Amino acid sequence: MGTTIQTVRLAALPASFSSSRFFSRPLSKALTFPFISRHNYAHKSPFPLLARALSVPAVQTIDTTDNKVVKPQPQWQAAIDFKWIRDNKEAVSANIINRSSNANLELVLQLYEKMLNVQKEVERLRGERNVVANKMKGKLEPSERQKLIEEGKNLKEGLVTLEEDLLKLTDELQLEAQCIPNMTHPDVPIGGEDSSKIRKMVGSQRVFSFPVKDHLQLGKELDIFDFDAAAEVSGSKFYYLKNEAVMLEMALVNWTLSEVMKRGFTPLTTPEIVRSSVVEKCGFQPRAANTQVYSIDGSDQCLIGTAEIPVGGIHMDSILAESLLPLKYAAFSHCFRTEAGAAGTATKGLYRVHQFSKVEMFILCRPEESDSYHKELIQIEEDLFSSLGLHYKTLDMATGDLGAPAYRKFDVEAWMPGLGRYGEISSASNCTDYQSRRLGIRYRPSEKSSSNPKKGKGNLAPTQFIHTLNATACAIPRMIICILENYQQEDGSVIIPQPLMPFMGGLELIAPKSR
């Protein structure tokens, strides 16, 4: 029996994906395709938020097995409030500049006006066609009937042409408008990454009385991972975990899940292959010139770079009861990232790899609650890292470092003494309704309309798009770096942080192997 192998080919990703947790910095601003939409947002923000959607035109492909042309799937559409963009032109323009976006706002507005004019003409012709159709119902002289038939035929032909033009304009307008990023929380510092502000500094750098080793040297001496063999088997930036490192990974996952479950999160394991459209709807671009996404050749599927993507898709195209909110998930998954453009000492060892395990928190909530849940997420992260005795700082990331979906993002950077620097270990983002407007996730408020006392569908409150938030509870490789480098001892051993000991079978330290 033969074996069919599907190849994995690199697919491109925009800056929004690369600036997310542990992705390399933005690679190609020209590859972002955001969308904007207005919503009812009970927040102190001076203006309603905007949201962005990514969408790729359907591409016609050929099935090589029988040389048949495969019809493309229809392009999905995101909810876009072009009128709001036009009415808030100055705010949108300023935000585009602050977010270092390449969006062409003038072109968007020009296309919108053109689309409106075509829509009006379509409606006018439809009206005339209806008038002609009504006249045909009465008694008419043959000559008059023939005249109406010719008029109706001409109207129909003109209408077909205009409707085709309208469809093309709609698609073009969507793609151009999708270049506009989400609006930004008013407290977010403006500028590049260097403009990010420190919100909190916890602990201090440990003082060592002996020469400090980095995690690569420690791992080799402790015989807990192997990069050389992995490079031969899989390529660079892959690794084997061995011995106590395997136990440490399992301990970190189980400890993290147990802690977040105490805070009301539902544990999940997720699919690690998803449809490209879901990747797009979550705000990531699976196909372009540079990439962080592995796509499966000959299919519409990709390997996930974060569990945020499959978790975001769980409630796709659904209306949730308000009583279910908030929905809080803690998802364990493996993550796959190409790390295109990543090089140098800042990425060596476990710091930036192609495959790793992670526990991701994800919240779906009412719009007026997303700001408070954002604070809750960063507090959970800080509590977890503090309990492990890490020295870290929390940053309010500047506009230039925000991925296009994020309204606001907090990063946590921990001190890694072996690497001699702070390294990002987690982030927490409030994406408002950026993702839900593309994924089609809404909720129906429990309050019924008072204007219609009668029972029935008309008495239901209108649906609203929910807000989504995501945050890293534990990214395993970087947490292993922190533990090895901060808890190393002079004799070469590494102490296991107390909270993890029960999950390590009581093991208290990792000792060098005797030769």
**Domain 193-445+460-510: which CATH number of 3.10.580.10, 3.10.620.30, 3.40.920.10, 3.30.930.10:** 3.30.930.10
Q: Is 426 annotated as a binding residue?
A: yes
Please determine whether the domains at 82-179 and 193-445+460-510 fall in the same fold group of CATH: no
Pull the structure tokens for residue 417: 């003494």
The structural architecture, per CATH, of the domain 82-179 is: Orthogonal Bundle (1.10)
215 has binding-site annotation: no
pTM for this model (two decimals): 0.81
Active-site annotation holds for 126: no
Is 113 part of the annotated catalytic residue set?
Answer: no
- Asked if residue 439 lies in contact with residue 317, where contact means CB atoms within 8 angstroms, the answer is yes
Give the DSSP H or E segment for 165: helix 142-177
The yes-or-no answer on residue 21 being catalytic is: no
Instruction: Tell me if 338 is assigned to a ligand binding site.
Output: yes
Q: Enter the tokens of residue 105.
A: 């706002």
Q: pLDDT, tens digit, for every residue of 196-221?
A: 999 999 999 999 999 999 999 999 99
Residue among 8, 6, 5, 7 nearest 293 (CA): 8
Is 437 annotated in the active site?
A: no
Summarised one tens digit per residue, pLDDT across range 287-310 is 655 668 899 989 999 999 999 999
CA dist list (Å): 167 to 122, 162, 172, 247, 383: 11, 9, 9, 56, 51
205 is in an annotated binding site: no
Question: Was 429 annotated as part of a binding site?
Answer: no
Q: Is 19 among the residues known to form the active site?
A: no
pLDDT tens digits for the chain (515 residues)? 444 444 455 444 433 333 333 333 333 333 233 333 333 333 333 333 333 333 333 333 334 344 443 433 446 788 877 898 999 999 999 999 999 988 899 999 999 999 999 999 988 888 887 776 777 777 777 777 777 778 778 888 888 889 999 999 999 998 888 778 889 999 999 999 899 999 999 999 999 999 999 999 999 999 999 999 999 999 999 999 999 999 999 999 999 999 999 999 999 999 999 999 999 889 887 765 566 889 998 999 999 999 999 999 999 999 999 999 999 999 999 999 988 665 555 668 999 999 999 999 999 999 999 999 999 999 999 999 999 999 999 999 999 999 888 999 999 999 999 999 999 999 999 999 989 988 999 999 987 645 555 555 567 889 999 999 999 999 999 999 999 999 999 999 999 999 999 999 989 999 997 65
Domain boundary assignment for the chain:
82-179, 193-445+460-510
The candidate with the shortest Cα–Cα distance to 367, out of 462, 443, 469, 466, is 466
Per the residue annotation, which of 295, 357, 427, 429 is the catalytic one?
Answer: 427
